[in-house]
Amino acid sequence: MQIGGRQFHSIICTEQGLPSAHGLRKAAATRAADDGATAHELVAIFGWIDIKEAEIYTRAADRKRLAARAMGKLETRSVYFPTHSKVGTFGAKTPAISIASL
């Protein structure tokens, strides 16, 4: 049985524990999108015909940036816990506790 060059490359990479050509392209596209490359820039770099391929990477990078920004907002927020134990202190606020310390 004969195998093609692409199959041979894939077999050798797998045997040697190396990433495939597809894996390298995916890693490069992910890194470029994470570093701020637009979908159009990814299309230009990787030669994709359809922008939908590039948008997969830019959406994932945008989601990571939004999540990091939201977590930053949560980390700086203080939370107050009302006390309910004694008459006259109902609804009093305890000292602020940072979400990051929970």
Q: What is the pLDDT of residues 7-37, one digit of tens each?
A: 766 777 677 777 777 888 899 999 999 999 9
**101: in domain:** no
Q: What is the residue range of 44's domain?
A: 5-76
More confident residue, 54 or 95: 54
Helix (H) or strand (E) holding 78: strand 78-79
Domain annotation covers residue 69: yes
Residue 102 maps to a domain = no
Domain assignment present for 32: yes
User: pLDDT digits over 34-89, tens only?
Assistant: 999 999 999 999 999 999 999 999 999 999 999 989 888 877 666 555 665 555 55
How many domains are contained in the chain?
Answer: 1
- Residue 51 domain flag: yes
Does 100 map to a domain?
no
Query: Is the torsion defined by CA of 5, 10, 12, 18 positive or negative?
Result: positive
Q: Which residue has the higher pLDDT, 38 or 4?
A: 38
